[in-house]
Structure 1
Amino acid sequence: MSDTVVLERRAGVLLITLNRPQAKNALDAATTDALTAALRAARDDETVRAVVLTGAGGDFCAGGDVKGMGQGGARTPEQRRAGMGRYRDLTTAMAGLDKPVIAAVDGVAFGAGLSLALWADMVLVSDRARMAMVFHRIGLVPDVGAWYTLPRVVGLQRAKELVYSAREFGAHEALRMNLALEVHAPEQLLARALEIAHSLEGASPLALSLSKQALHASLQSDLTTMLDMEATGQAMAGASDYARESIRRFASREPAQFRWAALPSSHPSKS
């Protein structure tokens, strides 16, 4: 594992920190490969119940390593396409992780960094966060799956505006366009992301996995397909030990296994 990606276990939560603060955690080849490996390992580790993704040094991720791109010399379109395989692997690792992922976005999330955050199930941002689909500023197009995720998160017209303009936007605009779930002070951001992740430790891993897979499929499926997935998923979840124990606790008036880490009603993200 590269030292540019730091992994820390906190009970059933895996905290993944991009650790190139001198480059605002830009994704060079080693970092991209290490992050992909960490996500695949989290997928295969049954003791990992949720993942928190963040960046070191007050920034989330400045995107691809543009300086490194400039040092690569002239390449043909075919060579450039082959080189995108590394980002394809990262994207499929994010998309294939059937466990909750919470992104804690502080500072900059530009280009591929914002694309990466869009794959999270929930995006929490600090009030100093700065985000941009910056690709058109340097004549490139969105990557890490952003052509797929962005319109699904913010709607097609807003996605076009963000991509075409390559403009920067802040935390509260991200909240208004449903790109962010909550806004927090920088010193509270990671603690809140971990609080949510730890609360999800108490949920059924099978039910979470089934729901994540179905919700991802829903925008490209019809009702009949979704009802079939619902029937199969409910049959599987209902037969689990978790469901049986939850029903027993409910009948016995014992505390539930799962309790969501809700925000106070006075928090600005609730308004």
Structure 2
Amino acid sequence: MMADLEYSVSGHVATILLNRPDRKNAFTLDMVDAWADAITEAGRDDRVRAVVVTGAGDAFCSGVDLTEFTSQDRTPLQEKELLTERVHRVARAMNALAKPTIAAVRGVAVGAGMDMSLMCDIRFAGQSARFSEGYIRVGLVPGDGGCYYLPRIVGTATALRLLWTGAFVDANEALSIGLVSEVHDDERVLDAAYQLAEEVSQRAPIAVEVVKRAVRQGLNHDLDTALDLISSHQAVVLSTADSAEAMSAFREKRAPSFQRR
């Protein structure tokens, strides 16, 4: 029997596959735990230099499995703890992961499913992709980071429109508002995500991770702070064997061999 969430590594690329196609990959608490554990494992594994997240079948993720999460018996404190101690493990693990993450989205990415795609650094969409922050339709607020991630990706006004209405955004509109970086035929979108992951994984891994860290830090810092930090980052990166190997390979017109040291 196949697991509801599968984690695998091929070469330098890890894959997180949401694997409940009969339920549009709606996630359970067990899947949340497995998801967070997989991200943590990817961060620890020096083989892994990029992570691709995708869904089985014709959907990315339809959000939480309401049969498991809907309850009238939990107190407000228990509701909060369910999110902070279980569901939010994925967001925190993704935030701690220095390695590049790419979402390959086919079909629906709704509610927390959309939020999970927003946690990735880059999103590629198949033509069938449809995104919705659908919480408002059932009288809820985005519980998994939508109010944090979406304005940073598409801007405040567009984010508020989507959060207030729960409107569905198709692949082409998602591209036009900057929600996704590329749109491909459904049969090609996962290959495109892997192609980028493979390309990034051929770059000096420590430098790739520092670039991600610097970009994220820069979103919250003034210019002087960002420049001060990057000068320190640069000094550390220049001291690594991988940096020397990248320079030698460039000069000798050959493929580099990185050891992440």
With the shorter chain as reference, the TM-score category is over 0.9
Give the secondary structure class of the aligned counterpart of 2:79.
helix
- Aligned partner of 2:218: which letter? S
Identify the residue that residue 190 of structure 1 maps to in structure 2.
190
| Distance in 2 (alpha carbons) for counterparts of 1:152 and 1:193 | 22
| Distance in 2 (alpha carbons) for counterparts of 1:81 and 1:249 | 52
Larger mean CA deviation between 234-243 and 39-48 belongs to 234-243
Which residues of 2 match residues 26-175 of structure 1 at below 5 A? 26-70=26-70, 72-84=71-83, 85-175=85-175
Identity over aligned pairs, percent: 36
- Aligned partner of 2:221: which letter? S
Give the secondary structure class of the aligned counterpart of 1:15.
strand
- Aligned partner of 2:46: which letter? E
Identify the residue that residue 221 of structure 1 maps to in structure 2.
221
Displacement of 1:160 in angstroms is 0.5
Identify the residue that residue 208 of structure 1 maps to in structure 2.
208
- What root-mean-square deviation, in Å, do the aligned CA atoms of Structure 1 and Structure 2 show? 1.4
Number of aligned residues: 255
Residue deviations 1:192-227, cap 9 Å, x none? Answer: 111111111111111111111111121211112101
Give the secondary structure class of the aligned counterpart of 2:68.
helix
Identify the residue that residue 235 of structure 1 maps to in structure 2.
235
- Aligned partner of 2:254: which letter? P
Larger mean CA deviation between 100-109 and 80-89 belongs to 80-89
Runs of 4+ more than 3 Å apart: 255-258
| Distance in 1 (alpha carbons) for counterparts of 2:106 and 2:254 | 35
Displacement of 1:256 in angstroms is 5.0
- Aligned partner of 1:28: which letter? T
TM-score (norm 1): 0.91
- Aligned partner of 1:128: which letter? S
| Distance in 2 (alpha carbons) for counterparts of 1:251 and 1:194 | 28
| 1:107/1:126 contact within 8 Å kept | yes
| Distance in 2 (alpha carbons) for counterparts of 1:149 and 1:5 | 23
- Aligned partner of 1:11: which letter? G
TM-score (norm 2): 0.94
- Tell me, which stretches of 5 or more residues in structure 1 are unaligned? 259-271
- Tell me, which stretches of 5 or more residues in structure 2 are unaligned? none
Identify the residue that residue 23 of structure 1 maps to in structure 2.
23
| Distance in 2 (alpha carbons) for counterparts of 1:192 and 1:207 | 23
- Aligned partner of 1:53: which letter? V
